[in-house]
Amino acid sequence: MAEPREATPAQEQNPPPAEENNSSSHLGRKILLAVIVGLSINVLLSFCFDFKQMLSALARATPWQIFVPFAAICVVYVIDCLRYYIVFRQFGVRLSFRDALYNNVIGYFFSCITPSSAGGQPFQIYHFVKLGLDTTTSTNIIFSRLMVTNFAQLVVILAIFHRGIALLGSTGNGAYVLALGMVSTALISVILLLVFIKPTLIGHLAFAIEQNRLGRFIGKVSKNERWAEKLSNWTFELRDSFRFLWSRRTLAVLADVLLFYFVQVVWAFGLYYPLCGITGTRLPFVDFLFAFIVCGLVSAYIPTPGASGSVEASYALVLGGMTGSPGAALSAIFLWRIGSYYLHLLLGGIVYFGVPTARSVYETRSDGTIGHVRRHPASLRKTE
């Protein structure tokens, strides 16, 4: 891509209050469902472990074992804001800290309430586009972050693969979780690599299904019978955007990778702290990081809201075997989820319902960069 494309702000009218109320009610039901499913699975899990050991472990719990996981995710938000700042600058966009922070907080919030945590990235793209940023650039950055996440995790797994194999023998039934995680990571990496190398495959797939029942349904919903052609043309823009970022802005991508590793360590420490405190063990952090990454990948395949319940189950199987105290490990995992999931579900809900977001507030400045401009307060509203 020769030059970054200019953002073309789109002016849209606010939806009627009734539509917004319906959207809020629907979202409220999703939040309630995520909490009910998560807590119900945790209750069921408690019957599979030593209940007395769990109660004894919880009796030793301290507020810090909830606060540290909560604080760890807050630190991740800030680091991810810096990652956004670095990558968006490559496209001439000066993203404000407020918009970056909102995008990260609400992205995690939507991941927490959608099946298999799949809703975070689409909402992040949606939010950037509503701000007036280019769709192709926004999609490139979010997808590139997904690429960085997957391949950086794959590098960690390969780098300590020999230790991971040794762990298989010490985790009991958790060995199946680790093995599944290693295989699935490799498969997902191949799929992402194919899309990255040749994003036009998306267009070819669209043309293949355009005339069948699913394609006609998509055309009806999008109110565009030629949606496949439009999508195919857009994938060429996405291909050029990928090439621009990864071949001409390589240093920025490497900086993003290094910051992601920092994010991974901080995220993992959020569980490592209560696990060591509750179980009284000191697992080698490298071994723990391997298990943490692999279990996280496996749990995302279970279609519960925010992978709730599946996260606890996969981590409990593996970490219970590694520590030799399954009941205490499950207690530590539950404390971690309170701080890193349920409290952030509350925080994200407060931000989503209470913090107004602006539309079409990024425009090209006199120096050629794209930046945030002030709007009249009437242009502020909550994103649907």
Q: Give me the phi and psi of 138, to 5 degrees please.
A: -65, -45
Please list the rounded mean pLDDT of every run of 10 residues in the chain (384 residues).
Answer: 39 42 66 72 63 73 93 96 93 92 93 77 89 87 81 76 59 58 67 70 73 70 69 72 79 90 94 91 86 76 70 81 82 91 91 84 83 61 46
What integer pLDDT is reported at residue 275 of this predicted model? 92
Q: Are 232 and 207 in contact (CB under 8 A)?
A: yes
* pLDDT (0 to 100) of residue 48: 63
User: Is the Cβ–Cβ distance between 199 and 238 less than 8 Å?
Assistant: yes
Name the residue with tokens 């630190």. 75
Q: Say if CB 136 and CB 5 are below 8 A apart.
A: yes
Q: Token pair of 226, please? A: 């030629």
H/E stretch holding 358: strand 357-358
Contact 77, 104 (CB under 8 A): yes
Please tell me the pTM assigned to this model: 0.78
**Residue tagged 């590694």 (tokens):** 322
- Characterize 147-170 residue by residue with b for buried, 16 or more Cβ atoms within 10 angstroms of its Cβ, and e for exposed: bbebbbbbebbeebeeebeebbee
Return d(Cα 20, Cα 9) in angstroms, integer.
Answer: 22
- 53: which 2 tokens? 């050991």
Q: Where are the domains of the chain?
A: 54-362
HSE, CB side, 13 Å, CA atoms: give it for residue 28: 7
